[in-house]
Amino acid sequence: MKFLREVLEDLRILREGTHLEVYLPKVLTKENAKDLWEKLEIEKSHPQTSLRFLAEALETVDSSGISCIAHFQRLQKEKGQGFELIGLKEEFQFLFQLATEKRSFESLRRLRLGTNERVGKYTIEKAQAVFDQIVYLGELTVSLFKSLRKPKLIRWKDSFQVAEAMGVNAFPIISLIGFLLGLIMSFQSTIPMRRFGAEIFVANLVGLSLFRELGPLMTAFILSGRSGSAFAAEIGTMKVSEEIDALTTMGLPPVQFLIVPRLIASLIVTPLLTVVFNLFGLLGVALVLYSFGFPFVTFINQVNIAVGANDILGGMLKSLFFGMVIAGMGCYRGLQTTIGAGAVGESTTKAVVSSIIIVSVLDGIFSVSFYYLGV
Amino acid sequence: MKENPLREKPIIRVSHLTTGYGTETIMQDISFNVNPGEIFGILGGSGCGKSTVLKNMIGLTQPFSGEIWIGDKNIVALQGKDRIFFWNQIGVMYQQSALFGSMSLLENIMLPLEEFANLPRGLRLEIAQLKLKMVGLESFGKLMPSELSGGMKKRAAIARAMALDPKILFLDEPSAGLDPITSVDLDYLIKNLSKNLGVTFVIVTHELPSVFEVADRVIVLDKDSKGIIAEGRPIDLKSSEERGFVHRFFNRIAAEETE
């Protein structure tokens, strides 16, 4: 590094009135081009300066050095002021010519879009996305009904494979989260309830919220993280490797061929897993209440009183719709995958985020409409 | 020979096609014909729009305007069932082979048979074996696509494209990503299939030596003029000195051949 410093000292800038002489150092590379740049930037504040680079001493120069010189030449030209470069060695002339060529320079500003353009572009993109989603929804609905009318069209083998991966293999995590959620919720609520001697009503509280809200919702969240992302990645990879195109030109519509089996699997599996979630949730509640001295029979009786068939069926209905959203959204994001290394990752993320959002919104809509319907 | 006086009606007629992606036009008003049984090359530098034209021709995307007649159907206007019927008449080999990763080679080839031909399983298997034999992969049927080399994948993709005995095969960059020897093997295979089965081949490529070897006729697309700058037999094009790009394009092979 010491060597470089000595070299830097060779750079001399002499000012004589409106005339600036720059003695270039022996070495001008990316290590010290910044130095020259900054020194000349300071000089820019002087009005009316003609610039002269003396390059006799220059022996080693790389792209950064040449670009630096070319930059100041261009600035001088734009301002209509003098520029001279003396003694640049023959071997660097080619690079210098290239750097000062007219077309070689593109302003960074031109690459960036203006605010209006960006707003317009964003609006068009979003409108297009909404349009695409509507088209997809229509296509999916048509395919699904066509398949339900003619069950032979469904690829049952694929459906069951997906159902296994999505359902059977998710059993441990669903049961674990269900158990823990029931346990934690009931434990947290038992402590304040105990002050009123109302511990037994924890069964009502947690039982109801599990069946009506938390069971379907948490199951949907877990499944969208676990399976929605898998759908998006799977189909996205197929998109990137042209397999979707290949299916299309074989006459096998990808929606019918890939997405309907996944949708059907999801429709079967999501309600079933919700049941599992609820069951293990209740187990957690039972354990907490047992530890507070209530026998199981009391707990079961209490739940029986609190939770009606309406609550259970309402929850099931919700989970059916959630299942549709998870599969539909996961596959949609997969089909939307563009080309490039990050594309699959991006669509996986989008699949999870958008299905969680839609599930939450849908859950809100269900709660309100159930309230007004008196369910 | 291909130049018989009683030349048949062209099997593909592209007329006044204008196409591009997004809002950008990249090909303006191009027209060309492909005759039955010939190997037809679509040449051009990268980004000139040859893949876009191919995607229009196989009905994956719609052109801005123009007609593409394949057989007696204008495929731009095809809808619903007709479109699927059209897709069953053609075979496409994609640049990345696009074999289905979750299926073995045999299953890959049997898939279209399963969906579109009402045949017993044993017969389907027999047909799939035959197709693999055609491309010289008869002993690899049980392997998964991930277990194959690049050249084998391309062969398998050709076998799958031929599953329903199409009259036209579209090949997208068949030699992309292959070493020269494998690529020559593939050229030989294409020539053989064309000669023995009478299938029409449409090959999109930028690899000159390969298309020069196999194609009966080529068109050269150009980015700057947004159109066809040359059309004819490769040998004629090579000798002609007319236009800059064609000249450059073909002289490069000349230079490579002398090396």
Residue A364 has pLDDT above 50, yes or no: yes
Name chain A contacts of B113, Cβ cutoff 8 Å: none
> CA of A363: how far to CAs of A112, A272, A314, A352, in Å?
41, 18, 11, 16
pLDDT for A266-315, tens place per residue?
999 999 999 999 999 999 999 999 999 999 999 999 999 999 999 999 99
* N-terminal to C-terminal alpha carbon distance within chain B: 32
Is ipTM strictly over 0.85?
Answer: no
Q: Write the burial class of residue B14 (CB in 10 Å: 0-12 exposed, 13-18 middle, 19+ buried).
A: buried
Residue A2 has pLDDT above 50, yes or no: no
Task: Tell me, yes or no, if the pTM score tops 0.90.
Answer: no
> Per-residue confidence of chain B (259 residues) as pLDDT tens digits?
444 444 568 899 999 999 988 778 888 899 999 999 899 999 887 778 888 899 999 988 889 999 999 888 898 888 888 888 899 889 999 988 889 988 899 999 999 888 888 888 889 999 999 999 888 888 898 999 999 888 889 989 999 998 888 989 999 988 887 888 888 888 888 988 888 888 899 999 888 778 888 899 989 888 878 888 888 888 777 776 555 566 666 665 554 444 3
A251 with B111: Cβ contact below 8 A: no
Contacts of A141 (CB under 8 A, 6+ apart): none
In this prediction, residue B244 carries a pLDDT of: 56
Among partner residues A242, A243, A250, which is closest to B87 by beta-carbon distance?
A250
In this prediction, residue A110 carries a pLDDT of: 58
Nearest CA in chain A to B89: A250
Q: Which of A7-11, A25-29, B121-125 has the highest mean pLDDT?
A: B121-125
The pair phi, psi for residue A107, each rounded to 5°, is -70, 140
CB A4 within 8 A of CB A31: yes
Name chain B contacts of A161, Cβ cutoff 8 Å: none
Q: Which of A45-54, A69-78, A346-355 has the highest mean pLDDT?
A: A346-355
Residue A104 has pLDDT above 60, yes or no: no
Name chain B contacts of A249, Cβ cutoff 8 Å: 58-60, 87, 90, 92
Give the separation between CA A25 and CA A33, rounded to whole angstroms.
10
Q: Quick one: which of A316, A296, A55 has its CA closest to A211?
A: A316
Name chain B contacts of A252, Cβ cutoff 8 Å: 111-112, 115
The pair phi, psi for residue B69, each rounded to 5°, is -95, 120
3-class state of residue A15 by DSSP: strand
Q: Does B82 touch chain A (CB under 8 A)?
A: no
In this prediction, residue A108 carries a pLDDT of: 54
Give the separation between CA B132 and CA B110, rounded to whole angstroms.
11
CB A95 within 8 A of CB A65: no
3-class state of residue B171 by DSSP: strand
Among partner residues B83, B92, B115, which is closest to A246 by beta-carbon distance?
B92
Residue A180 has pLDDT above 90, yes or no: yes
